[in-house]
Structure formats: structure tokens, C-alpha cells
Amino acid sequence: MLSIFDALPGLDTPVGAISKNLARLWTTDERPALLPGEDSKATQVNFVLHFGIHTTPEDALAQFQTATRFSQRYPCRVVVLCPTRDESNQAAELRAKIYGECHPGKTRGDLRCCEFVMLSYPTAARVFLENQVSICLSTDLPLYYWAHNFSSSAKLGAYQYLLGRAKRVLIDRSCVPANECGELTWPHPEAVRDLVIARLLPVRQTIGQYLSAYPASALAEDLTGVTVRHGATRRAEAVVLAKWTRERLIACGAEAGLTPLVEPAAADTPSDAVEIEFSYNNGNHFRFLGDFERGCAQIASTMRGSKTELATAIALLSPEAALAEAMFF
């Protein structure tokens, strides 16, 4: 069976020769057609992409490609950590690959280059992993840590070096079991960013801009409840939108005890759909229904006797744009 490490591109290299071979990557006969200068390799951040043990090779390759597209805009040293289930590796052997890419910039002659180090490690080698990661990182640059597809908070909590040092810790709650959400005690909770929240930025902006046409008091007055319904694949997005909606409505004057109801949508609802509904006892009403697969949304409201309907395009941020949003904003 193909491992996640084997599914990723790169040149095999001895772990002890990573730095030397990274330098040779740009000078040997296998170098890219466009030779990078020192300015081209001006790394801006350290980026660690850490796969959980249950990540599939296909998923790993997809996330690797996301990191590659991200690096086209933000040149970085990327360290990819690939656990292995090979318990027969009693020698705690680490394996390594190196990989580099160059991309044309926005101006003539501008060339942006990035470097990847892939490390494969068995469970027995975890105690050596942090030391090796520190050697691979560029010094004096901020560290951003993306923990992808960890099956439990306990397993992620074992990597306190990365969790504690990172300027941002990125997780994707759509990949986390519902009973694991919020259970991990973070060394720096203020550093944690959820990629689901980042992906939903255009959706939150669309809803917020629409509702900003009404006085805040009209949104909170006589509000009896909020219901967020979701298609089969969008529960995480529904949970995030429910929390965001609650915070915004309380800021408008709604009761602090407001608790939105999150529930599955009707069986015939598209799997990529999310619906938000505000209920009032004064005749007001608000409903948003977005279908991310089709890229469209319907918004309808009745506020103080005035009815409004709007059809609009809707989309989630691309994976690489969501990474940037979560990291830097």
C-alpha cells in the first residue's frame, strides 16, 4: 500500500544531508529551467504541514498541492511531516525527501521559489522528530503549523514543541470528530485558527452586508430563535455560522442566552447547502440559503413590513486563500 510519504514528489535524501542537498537542488544539472537568485529564495515564513495517521495518500497529495499554491504567493520553507503505520520499523528510522519549485512573479524578471522537506517517521521516532524539524526550519522566521486530519486531540497534544512555538496553529474542524472539538488544551489558545472559519469569509461578508441595511435593533427585537440547517457535507460550516450569527446578534442587542439550533436539512437538500433562518414574534423574518456546489444563494427577509429578496453568487475561499486568511489575518 502506498504511504503518504511515497505519494508526495521529491528526491530521496539522507536525513543528515538535507541542508546540503537543498543547496545542491538549485545548482545541479536537475535544476529548474529558470535559475533562482538569492532574492528569489527569500523565505518569508516557516510552514509545517503535519498529517494525521489516518490521512490517505490522495488527501496528502491534495494538501501538498495546496501548500505549493500558497507558496507561490508567500515564499516559504515547508516541512511536511508524514507519520507511518509501519510498526516493524524498530530502529526509529526517519526518511526524508526534498523538493523545490520556482514560479514567475507579478513583474518581468520576478521569480519566487520555495523549498519543501518531507519527513517520514514511525511512532517510535516521534521523540526525535522535533529536533529534526528545528534543524530544517529557517532561523529567525515565524513558524506556522498546520495539523491536518488528526483523529483525536490527544494525538495532536503530543506535539507540544510545535504547538507552543507556532505563531499560528491551523486546524480544520471539518476533519475533526465532533466529540473532539474544543477538548484540546492549547498552549496558546489565541494562536489557534480554524480553516472552516477562514473559508467562510465571503459568506459572512455577504450576509453581513445584506443585514447591515437594517438597524441593529430591528435584527434583535422580538427575536425568538435562530436555526442553522446543513446538507450532509457541511455540518462544520453550519456550526461555525451558528456561532458567528449568535455573536453578531448579541452585539445587536439580542439576549445573551441566545442559542442557535444546528440541525440536518431535509433529505432532498443538496449536500453542499447551508440555511440560516431568524424567527421573530413580530412578523419579521430572515432566511439565507446557500449552495456551495452550485455557487449561488437566495436571501429573503421581512423587516418592519418591508420585504426584500436577493439572488447572489456565493463561494468559499480557495484552500490556499483560506490558509493565508487564517495565518495572517
Residues paired with residue 285 on neighbouring β-strands, in sequence order: 279, 302
Window from 79-93, 199-213, 236-250 with minimum mean pLDDT = 79-93
For residue 327, pLDDT beyond 90: yes
The ranges of the chain annotated as CATH 3.30.360 are 201-313
Average pLDDT, the chain: 89
In the chain, what percentage of residues exceed pLDDT 70?
A: 90
User: Which pLDDT value is given to residue 35?
Assistant: 53
For residue 29, pLDDT beyond 70: no
Window from 49-53, 106-110, 207-211 with minimum mean pLDDT = 106-110
Q: What is the CATH number of domain 201-313?
A: 3.30.360
Question: Stretch 131-145: mean pLDDT, rounded?
Answer: 92
User: Which pLDDT value is given to residue 38?
Assistant: 52
Please state the pTM of the whole predicted model.
Answer: 0.91
Question: Stretch 66-76: mean pLDDT, rounded?
Answer: 91
For residue 39, pLDDT beyond 80: no
For residue 234, pLDDT beyond 50: yes
Question: Stretch 46-74: mean pLDDT, rounded?
Answer: 95
Window from 36-50, 228-242, 243-257 with minimum mean pLDDT = 36-50
Looking at per-residue confidence, does 112 or 101 come out higher? 101
For residue 30, pLDDT beyond 70: no
For residue 316, pLDDT beyond 80: yes
User: Which pLDDT value is given to residue 274?
Assistant: 98
SS3 of the chain: the string is CCCHHHHCCCEEECHHHHHHHHHHHCCCCCCCCCCCCCHHHCCCEEEEEEECCCCCHHHHHHHHHHHHHHHHHCCEEEEEEEEECCCCCCCCCCEEEEEEEEEECCCCCCEEEEEEEEEEEEHHHHHHHHHHHHHHCCCCCCEEEEEECCCCHHHHCCCHHHHHHCCEEEECHHHCCHHHCCCCCCCCHHHEEEHHHHHCHHHHHHHHHHHCCCCHHHHHCCEEEEEEEECCCCHHHHHHHHHHHHHHHHHCCCCCCCCCEEEECCCCCCCCEEEEEEEECCCCEEEEEEECCCCEEEEEEEECCEEEEEEEECCCCCHHHHHHHHHHC
Q: Confidence class of residue 158 from pLDDT cuts 50, 70 and 90?
A: confident
For residue 223, pLDDT beyond 70: yes
* Residues 113-123: tens digit of each pLDDT: 889 999 999 98
Window from 5-14, 39-48, 297-306 with minimum mean pLDDT = 39-48
For residue 148, pLDDT beyond 90: yes
Question: Stretch 157-172: mean pLDDT, rounded?
Answer: 92
Q: Confidence class of residue 104 from pLDDT cuts 50, 70 and 90?
A: confident
98-102, 181-185, 282-286, 304-308 — which one is most confidently predicted on average? 282-286
User: Which pLDDT value is given to residue 139?
Assistant: 83
Q: Confidence class of residue 56 from pLDDT cuts 50, 70 and 90?
A: very high
Query: CB burial class (10 A; 0-12, 13-18, 19+) of residue 256?
Result: exposed
